[in-house]
C-alpha cells in the first residue's frame, strides 16, 4: 500500500530539514527523504561553520530574508536549547571599489544596518593578527558571525520529528510525477504519495527539478583547518572575528579558533566542476592548498603551515549565482529551493518557512520574487550576472 502524506520533502539537508520543521510545526504530515542522515558530509551543509551576515554584498534584496533568518535561528536555539549562532562580527577587507566592500556598504545604507568603515591600517591596529595593505579599506559588521552548520541541520530535524514529521535516510529519490491530486515520488525503496512536494535537491538539482532551461553547475570546494603559529596565541585566535578578503588571488574567508582543529580557512572563488555528485574526489588538491597558504601567509601570518583537517563540500551554482526558490512553473503542487551558489546556508531557517508557505498555501509573504525560477537570467545562454 502506498504511504501518503500532506507534504513530501525530497532532500533532508540544510533546506529540506528546515522545510520539514516549519511544515510539521503547522500540523502537516511530512515525510522528508534523503540518501544520508541529517548532518551528513556528502553535500553542502557540513564543515563546522557557515558565515552569517546582514549587510549582504551580493545584493540588498537579500537583507529582509536575512533578518527573518536570523530571528528564526534564535527561535530554533530556544526551541532546542542548542547554541547555533555565534555573534563575533565580520571583518571584510579589500579594494574600496571592489564588490565586497562596495556591496556591503550599499546593503548597509539601503537597510540602515550597523557597520564600521576602517582604513587598512586601522583594521590592522585593532586586530594585529591581520595584514591589510594600506590602499585597501575594511568594513566591520558587529552583528555578523557564524552558524554551527551540522548542529543547525540536526536541530531542524529534531523539531520536525518532535512535531510528528518523519525523516527517513537511505532513500535514493529517483523521480516524481503528478497524478490527479497526488505527487508520486519514486525512491530506491518505494513509491510514496503527497498532496504537495518540496524539492531541496542540493547538488542533485539538475536531475530532480525538471527545469531543463536552467543549467546548474556543481563545484567541488575545499575547507582547511590550521593550527595557530606561536605568534598567535590561542586566546588571540579565539578572539578574532570572522573575516573575508577580496584579493587579486581570489576571495578568501575564515573563522576564529573554535576547537582543536584550529582556524578554518577556505576560498570562495575557484573550485573544480563535478560531473557526478556521487563521485567526488575528496583528496587534497595541492594547488588549492597552496592558494590558501599563500593567502594566509600574506594576510594572516599567525596561521601555521600545520594543517590539522580538510573537508570537501559542494556548491550548486545557478547561472546568475542567485538562489532558485519558488513554485515549479509547470506544477504548482511542487515548491523548490536550489542553486544556492555557495552562499545559501545562512538563509535556511527562512527558506524553510518560505517552502512551508508555498506548499500549504501557494504563496508566501516573504520577499522571494527576485529568486523565482522563471526569471530571465536563469535561462540557458544568459550571461552570468554578478550582484554588486
Active site residues: 46, 49-50, 264, 268, 313, 346
Place of cell 524539492: 199
All three cell numbers of 178: 503528478
Q: 39: left (phi > 0), else alpha (psi -120 to 50), else beta?
A: left
Q: Which is nearest to 314 in space by CA: 223, 203, 148?
A: 203
The C-alpha atoms of residue 159 and residue 18 are separated, in whole angstroms, by: 9
Angle at which helices 348-361 and 149-162 cross, to 10°: 30
Q: How far are the Cα atoms of 10, 42, 260 from residue 187, in angstroms, in the given order? A: 10, 19, 40
Q: Do residues 76 and 124 make contact, with C-beta atoms less than 8 angstroms apart? A: no
Counting other chains too, the contacts that 208-213 makes at CB distance below 8 Å and 24 or more residues apart are 208/10, 208/11, 208/173, 208/175, 208/176, 209/324, 209/328, 209/336, 209/338, 210/328, 210/330, 211/324, 211/328, 211/329, 211/373, 213/378, 213/379, 213/380
62: helix, strand or coil:
helix
18 Cβ contact partners less than 8 Å away, ≥ 6 residues apart: 156, 348, 349, 351, 352, 353, 355
Q: Do residues 172 and 323 make contact, with C-beta atoms less than 8 angstroms apart? A: no
Q: Which is nearest to 302 in space by CA: 225, 222, 227?
A: 227
Q: Which residues pair with 185 in a beta bridge?
A: 176, 192
Q: How far are the Cα atoms of 100, 107, 253 from residue 243, in angstroms, in the given order? A: 12, 18, 5
Q: How far are the Cα atoms of 202, 284, 304, 319 from residue 218, in angstroms, in the given order? A: 9, 18, 31, 11
Question: Based on C-alpha coordinates, what's the Rg of the chain?
Answer: 21
Amino acid at each position: 500500500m502506498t504511504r501518503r502524506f500532506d507534504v513530501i520533502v525530497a532532500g533532508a539537508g540544510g533546506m529540506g530539514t528546515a522545510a520539514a520543521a516549519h511544515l510539521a510545526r503547522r500540523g502537516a504530515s511530512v515525510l522528508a527523504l534523503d540518501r544520508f542522515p541529517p548532518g551528513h558530509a556528502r553535500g553542502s551543509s557540513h564543515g563546522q561553520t557557515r558565515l552569517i551576515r546582514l549587510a549582504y554584498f551580493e545584493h540588498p534584496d537579500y537583507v529582509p530574508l536575512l533578518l527573518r533568518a536570523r530571528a528564526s535561528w534564535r527561535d530554533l536555539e530556544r526551541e532546542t536549547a542548542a547554541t547555533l549562532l555565534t555573534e563575533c562580527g565580520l571583518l571584510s577587507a579589500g579594494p574600496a571599489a571592489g564588490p565586497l566592500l562596495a556591496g556591503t556598504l550599499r546593503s548597509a545604507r539601503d537597510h540602515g544596518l550597523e557597520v564600521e568603515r576602517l582604513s587598512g591600517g586601522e583594521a590592522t591596529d585593532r586586530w594585529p593578527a591581520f595584514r591589510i595593505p594600506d590602499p585597501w579599506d575594511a568594513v566591520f559588521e558587529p552583528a555578523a558571525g557564524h552558524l554551527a552548520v551540522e548542529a543547525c541541520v540536526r536541530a531542524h530535524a529534531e523539531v520536525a520529528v518532535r512535531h510528528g514529521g518523519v525523516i527517513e535516510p537511505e532513500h535514493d529519490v529517483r523521480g516524481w510525477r503528478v497524478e490527479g491530486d497526488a505527487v508520486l515520488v519514486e525512491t530506491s525503496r518505494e513509491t510514496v504519495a503527497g498532496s504537495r512536494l518540496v524539492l531541496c535537491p542540493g547538488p542533485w538539482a539538475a536531475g530532480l527539478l525538471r527545469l531543463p532551461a536552467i543549467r546548474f553547475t556543481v563545484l567541488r570546494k575545499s575547507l582547511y583547518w590550521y593550527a595557530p603559529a606561536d605568534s598567535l596565541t590561542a586566546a588571540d585566535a579565539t578572539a578574532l572575528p570572522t573575516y573575508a578578503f577580496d584579493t587579486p588571488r581570489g576571495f578568501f574567508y575564515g573563522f576564529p579558533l573554535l576547537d582543536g582543529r584550529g582556524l578554518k580557512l577556505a576560498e570562495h572563488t575557484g573550485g573544480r566542476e563535478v560531473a557526478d555528485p556521487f563521485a567526488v574526489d575528496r583528496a587534497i588538491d595541492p594547488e588549492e592548498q597552496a592558494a590558501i597558504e599563500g593567502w594566509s601567509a600574506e594576510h594572516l601570518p599567525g596561521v601555521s603551515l600545520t594543517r590539522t583537517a580538510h573537508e570537501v563540500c559542494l556548491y550548486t551554482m545557478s547561472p546568475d549565482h542567485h538562489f532558485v526558490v519558488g513554485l515549479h512553473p509547470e506544477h504548482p503542487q511542487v515548491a523548490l529551493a536550489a542553486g544556492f551558489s555557495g552562499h545559501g546556508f545562512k538563509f535556511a531557517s527562512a527558506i524553510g518557512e518560505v517552502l512551508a508557505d508555498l506548499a500549504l498555501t501557494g504563496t508566501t509573504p516573504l520577499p522571494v520574487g527576485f529568486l523565482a525560477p522563471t526569471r530571465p537570467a536563469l535561462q540557458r545562454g544568459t550571461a552570468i550576472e554578478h550582484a554588486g
